[in-house]
Amino acid sequence: MGKMYRCRYLAHGLYIHYDCFRHCHLSIHSPKERNNNYIIPYAGPKDKADWNKVFEIKNTLVKNMRNGDIPPFCQGCHWIEEFDENSEEQFLSDLDNYIDMIWIGHSNECNANCIYCFSYQEILEHRTYKPYDIFPLFKEMLNNKIYNLEKAPGAHISFAMGEPVILKKFDDIIKLFAKYGNKHYALYTNGIKYSKMSAKVLKEKDVDIHIVISLDAGTREVFKKVKKVDKFNDVCKNIKAYAKSAAKYHPTSLGVKYIIIPNINDTKEEIDKWLELCINKLGVKYLIADIEEKWFVRQNGEVPEYVKDLLRYIRNRCEQEKIAFEFYDRALVLNL
């Protein structure tokens, strides 16, 4: 037998979309195959989730991956792990039927209009879709141990689409999972609206909420070009407040991201202003860099050297300042 592959997201992940379940939210790296990252239809409480079907499909894909067959929507993904027949067996749990990672993406409602939003076309196509009540689904998953905290104590919930903190039941979702012992959350937010619940979790020693805010600018003028809203000062104020909440127990649980967008914010001068702002004025201890996804796809992943130099510059400055740093997605696969 030749090479074998596995992906823990394929085995145990669930991306809740507006009208279906998907295996994960990462298929943006293969946009032509994105629609194939599909499990079953689901559009709210009126639909009954067929968990037997969900795990039947997952198990088939897991077995195919072990036989060297990578699904089209996974081609090129950096989260795929490779091993061979002589490797120690580590992946028995991949065929165990439980979810340990949920991406909440049933709503695209947002209070910004970012020019790089990869779901913009979907927002146009699904603008009549309203967020359904996701509570019955979560209660079912928790009560029936579909989302299984006994088998996976490190399981986590990720708010992945739209602007999470404007969801009517954002706080209630956090409380529901906490009631069952969930300790890990990920929140991807534009930071325009401050979340008292998120700040509260940041202050708790034994609970972790990983917050990522894409600021993408060091000045108000560039921020408005990227976000199409004039909320730069509000976001900076909220970042500073979150950083203060995180300082005691989770200083690197708040990450501020800079997505490089060619011809918009791709200058060393703007990046320097962003670094100065985050490090010396807002108290941020963890910074992130990435490349705008739609542009990256149009370029077929061919990134000009000046963009790579800017990414390296951000990383090197963070190392000098002793600030935690990470490349995300497109920047990560460049192996800089």
pLDDT tens figures, 227-254 = 999 999 999 999 999 999 999 999 999 9
Say what the pLDDT of residue 120 is: 55
Give the 3-state secondary structure of the chain.
CCCEEECHHHHHEEEECCCEEECCCHHHHCHHHHHHCCCEECCCCCCCCCHHHHHHHHHHHHHHHHCCCCCHHHCCCCCCEEECCCCCCCCHHHHCCCECEEEECCCCCCCCCCCCCCCHHHHHHCCCCCCCCCHHHHHHHHHCCCECCCCCCCCEEEECCCCHHHCCCHHHHHHHHHHCCCCEEEEEECCCCCCHHHHHHHCCCCCEEEEEEECCCCCHHHHHHHHCCCCHHHHHHHHHHHHHHHCCCCCCCEEEEEEECCCCCCCHHHHHHHHHHHHHHCCCCEEEEEECHHHHHHCCCCCCHHHHHHHHHHHHHHHHHCCEEEECHHHHCCCC
CA 325 to chain centre: 16
Candidates 3.80.30.10, 3.40.50.300, 3.40.605.10, 3.30.1310.10; CATH matching 205-336: 3.80.30.10
Q: Which residues pair with 71 in a beta bridge?
A: none
Residue 11 CB partners (closer than 8 Å, separation 6+): 58, 62, 91, 93, 94, 95
Q: Which residues pair with 189 in a beta bridge?
A: 213
Question: Residue 220: pLDDT above 90?
Answer: yes
Structure-model confidence comparison of residues 132 and 89, the more confident one: 132
Say what the pLDDT of residue 105 is: 87
Report the chain's mean pLDDT, rounded to a whole number. Answer: 89
Say what the pLDDT of residue 161 is: 80
Evaluate if pTM is beyond 0.85: yes
Question: Residue 89: pLDDT above 90?
Answer: no
Model confidence at 330, in pLDDT bands (50, 70, 90)? confident
Model confidence at 179, in pLDDT bands (50, 70, 90)? very high
Model confidence at 124, in pLDDT bands (50, 70, 90)? low
Say what the pLDDT of residue 76 is: 74
Give the 3-state secondary structure of 102-156.
EEECCCCCCCCCCCCCCCHHHHHHCCCCCCCCCHHHHHHHHHCCCECCCCCCCCE
State the average pLDDT over residues 109-122: 77
Residue ranges of domains in the chain: 1-107+147-189, 205-336
